[in-house]
Amino acid sequence: MIQAADSADSLKQAASKRNGWLFCLILGAVIACTLVRTLPWIPRVIPVSEDDSWDLALNLFAKRGALCGVDYIFTFGPLGFLYNKTYFPDTYTLKLLLQGLFCALTSAVMVLQGRRLFTSWPITIVWLFCLVALYGFFGDVFFLAIPVLLVNQYFLLDDNKANYKCKASAETILLVILLALTALVKFTFFVAGTWVIAFIALDELLKKKLPFLLFLFGTVFLAGWTLSGQPLENLPTYISTSLAVAAGHSEAMSWSEANWQIPILTTIAATGLLLISFTYLAHKRMGKTFPIALLAESGLFF
């Protein structure tokens, strides 16, 4: 009997070791595919017919260390040149490195979340493959995926009513750091990031914990702002000017076509059905934590 038990333990350890190697292999493959699929290995030169001069200007501002909200008034921060794949000689290498960092770390978090969400490896692989295929570009969708992943990680995966005093997971810390760096790319991402982190801090306070993640977000954001050549006293100016530009842009881009009511009402109805379904499922899984999580997610609609 003792020998049989020892043999069973040995088999379990061997299987666990094989699964560990398999996980590392899949993690490396997903990161590699994401980097190959997403990064601008072949520089994109803007065609003459396209007016993307603003994108080139962001790269020029980064090269010269222009001050946000002073030297240029736009809704992009000091890392705004990461937003697209446009080729600019002086920023191309740095762009590849930073975009590669974003891609590698974000895809690693997706693998870790997939491992906890799905018990079946084939389903996990299919889920990750679809996400990697969709991640083949930079822009709003990519950067706004980071606060979504953070809300899912903190409220859905990390939250454990029996263990409120536990420290934040490695995935949560990694996502908070990425969120702070994302906030330096575009003002919209700054609003979404501060909104999400504010409700996470509220949740930490309600659990009688220090808002460690809020401190981490603020430290990384301010360090990134300073290291990019922006003085701290210039931050309020950047925020105030970006608010004015963002408000004007929303008004200028409003829809005024004929019969606009039908698609708007259809969109509202579809969104309402999704929200009701999500509310029901999330409440069953998350209980009392759900309202704070929903409020944190709502910041993405700014």
- Express each pLDDT in 198-222 by its tens digit: 988 988 888 888 899 999 999 999 9
Tell whether 9 is covered by a domain: no
- Asked whether residue 25 is domain-assigned, the answer is yes
Q: How many helices (H) and strands (E) does the chain have?
A: 11, 0
Is the pLDDT at 256 greater than 60? The verdict is no
Asked whether residue 37 carries a pLDDT value surpassing 80, the answer given is no
78 pLDDT more than 80: yes
What band does 162 get if pLDDT is binned at 50, 70 and 90?
very low
Give the best-scoring range by mean pLDDT among 77-91, 132-146, 259-273: 77-91
- DSSP code for 150: H
**Residue 163 covered by a domain:** yes
pLDDT beyond 70 at 23? no
Please indicate, yes or no, if residue 11 is contained in any of the structural domains.
no
In a domain, 197, yes or no: yes
* Predicted pLDDT of residue 97: 86
pLDDT level of residue 158 (50, 70, 90 thresholds): confident
Position 253 pLDDT exceeds 90 = no
- How many domains does the chain divide into? 1
pLDDT digits (tens, 9 = 90+) for 3-16: 544 554 554 555 55
Closest CA to 168 of 206, 209, 223: 209
Q: DSSP labels for 111-159?
A: HHHHHHH-S-HHHHHHHHHHHHHHTSS-SHHHHHHHHHHHHIIIIIII-
d(CA 192, CA 198): 10
pLDDT for the residue 174: 92
- The pTM is what? 0.74
Residue 248 placed within a domain: yes
Kindly state whether residue 291 falls inside one of the protein's structural domains.
yes
- Which pLDDT value is given to residue 95? 86
In a domain, residue 62? The reply is yes
User: Between 252 and 110, where is the model more confident?
Assistant: 110
- Residue 52's domain comprises 16-301
Please check the confidence at residue 245 and state whether its pLDDT lies above 90.
no
Mean pLDDT, the chain, rounded, equals 75
Top mean pLDDT of 63-67, 171-175, 262-266 is at: 171-175
Name the residue with tokens 């509310």.
279
pLDDT tens per residue across span 261-285: 676 677 677 666 766 666 666 666 5
